[in-house]
Structure 1
Amino acid sequence: LHQAINDCTMTSSSEGEILQTSQIIRERWKIKAKVGGGGFGEIYEATDLQNRNERVAVKVESSKATKQVLKMEVAVLRRLQGKRHACKFYGCGRNDKFNYLVMSLQGKNLADLRRESPKQSFSLSTTIRLGIQILNAIREIHSIGFLHRDIKPSNFSMGRTPLTMRQVYMLDFGLARQFLNAKGEIRTPRSAAGFRGTVRYAAVSAHKNKDLS
């Protein structure tokens, strides 16, 4: 995992800690607007100046944050490349102010789509179709030896383009944990793993501070 972020490109510190509109990262990605954020950082929409102004997502965290998660996000997303439900990885980098990850931009997440629906709920058929794709996405991350550990509606989004608008994408691997060792064997569970996830959606085992499996 250490190699994942070390492989990323170093950038100058003049970019600043908080990204600004029209700011350009690594002479390639031009920031358009902030589209999200939380306790672990911020998300921006940007355009790729080297790829026909394609719209991309840029995730940023402060290099001084006590809880840094982009290193894990980079490691997992790279291993997921080529999987049906994974965003495309474009690049990453760091400086003395912030770390960043650039990936494909998707549409709205399932939590927002549900809230915006007429009855604030999905139909049974939509729920089944989404559920099948979500299970397949979970199967994909398990196939590379990782657990997501924060499965919830807001961590899945629909594609943004006409070709992907019915495709579900898994997001946010900051809390992921590798459950297989280098030999492909399941790691020994910790006696007290601590809580990881979101209270409303976490597994019972997570609430009991047990390792998930």
Structure 2
Amino acid sequence: MHKQTQSHSDVQENGVEDHNAKVGETDAPLDQKLNQTNPDDKDADIPPVGDASTVLHGSYGTVFAALHEGPQRTKLVAIKFETTNNSTHIRDEALILRCLSGSTHFAKFYRYSKYQGFKFLTMEMLGPCMLDIVNRVRPYRFTLQSLLKFGIQGVEALEALHNAGYVHYDIKPGNFVIGNTKETSGIFYLIDFGLCKKIDFKTDKIRNRNGIVGLRGTLRYASLNAHHKLELGPCDDLMSLLYVLIEFYTGKLPWIDMKDIV
């Protein structure tokens, strides 16, 4: 079977909205809200202390691993950086993670702030992505048991995100990871909310302020609505997850040779 590769995502900007504040407002009230550390975590008084090493470079910033020396213990955290320009991706991600605080399938939010010309988001350090896991051993596929375990948790993650009022827009193997500890190694987490959009529960439609709808996300896992350049909904996230499950079980998708055009 073919070794699976990850396609690139569309990087078109379109901010998401918090339940109580719109992205695009002045930074001050949102930053003040997000600068409040997670009250459920006793070690969440960031910034961390210690050496930092690069984990990955992405479309919306660079992620570093660092040691945080808390009052009770030292732990590994992930810090996502971007420059303090007009981009709101990291702040939007912080809003979503804070909104989903306490949900099983999302990284713990610790703190969002600014420092010396950078915005940073500090969150729980997670483990490798599903793409790395499936590519460890030939034939680069999951057993039915492993697939069902991932599928159930993937649906649970999307249910929590949709109930919070967001559509992910970029469901793919690289956006699911496992936990980074012995206790969480069997838990799957959903990450990367740079393309998320908010659902208007009054109309059950996506809030689209600019009126422009284009193909967003990763072409290989895009739903039919995405190909027709329609606004997406929760069902489209589920359709993309179905494509991921098919690829993990059969080893490839029928359209595997197609290239991203976004």
In the superposition, the TM-score normalised over structure 2's length comes to 0.68
Residue ranges of structure 2 left out of the alignment (5+ in a row): 1-17, 24-28, 36-44, 234-262
Q: How does 1:31-46 map to 2 (within 5 A)?
A: 31-46=51-66
Q: Which amino acid in 2 is paired with 1:123?
A: T
Superposition deviation, residue 165 in structure 1 = 0.5
Compute the RMSD of aligned alpha carbons. 2.3
The 5 A counterparts of 1:47-86 are 47-51=67-71, 52-64=73-85, 67-86=87-106
SS in 1 for 2:205: coil
Q: Does 1:112 align with 2:140?
A: no
- The one of 193, 198, 222 aligned to 1:178: 198
Structure 1 residue 128 corresponds to structure 2 residue 148: yes
- Letter of the 1:63 counterpart: T
Aligned partner of 1:7 among 17, 33, 37: 33
Measure, in 2, the Cα distance between the counterparts of 1:113 and 1:210: 33
Matched, 1:195 2:221: no
Using the TM superposition, give the Cα deviation of residue 185 of structure 1 relative to its aligned residue in structure 2, in angstroms. Answer: 4.3
Among the aligned pairs, what percent are the same residue? 29
Instruction: Give the match's secondary structure for 2:135.
Output: helix
Given residue 141 of structure 1, which amino acid in structure 2 is its aligned partner?
L
**C-alpha separation in 2, matches of 1:100 and 1:79:** 17
Q: What does residue 5 of structure 2 align with?
A: none
Deviations 1:98-139 (CA, angstroms, capped at 9, x unpaired): 211011011100011111123212112111110110011000
Choose between structure 1 and 2: higher strand proportion. 1
CA distance in 2, matches of 1:29, 1:177: 34
Change (3 A) 1:152 1:4: farther
The 10-residue stretch of structure 1 (118-127 or 80-89) with the greater mean CA deviation from structure 2: 118-127
Measure how far apart 1:26 and its partner are: 5.8
Shift, 1:46, TM fit: 0.8
* 1:21 alignment partner in structure 2: none
Q: Is the 8 A contact 1:4 1:74 kept in 2?
A: no
Q: Would the aligned equivalents of 1:94 and 1:100 in 2 still touch at CA under 8 Å?
A: yes
Deviation at 1:8, TM superposition (A): 3.8
Q: State the Cα distance separating 1:152 from its structure 2 match.
A: 0.6
The one-letter code matched in structure 1 to 2:109 is F
Structure 1 stretches of 4+ moved >6 Å? none
Q: Shift of the alpha carbon at 1:96?
A: 5.6
Measured after TM superposition, the shift of residue 30 of structure 1 is 3.3
Aligned residue pairs total 196
What's 2:8 paired with? none
CA-to-aligned-CA distance 1:17-52 (integer Å, 9 cap, x gap): xxxxxxxx9653434210111222111111111252
Letter of the 1:122 counterpart:
F
Instruction: Kindly indicate whether structure 1 or structure 2 has the higher relative contact order, using CA contacts under 8 Å at least 6 residues apart.
Output: 2
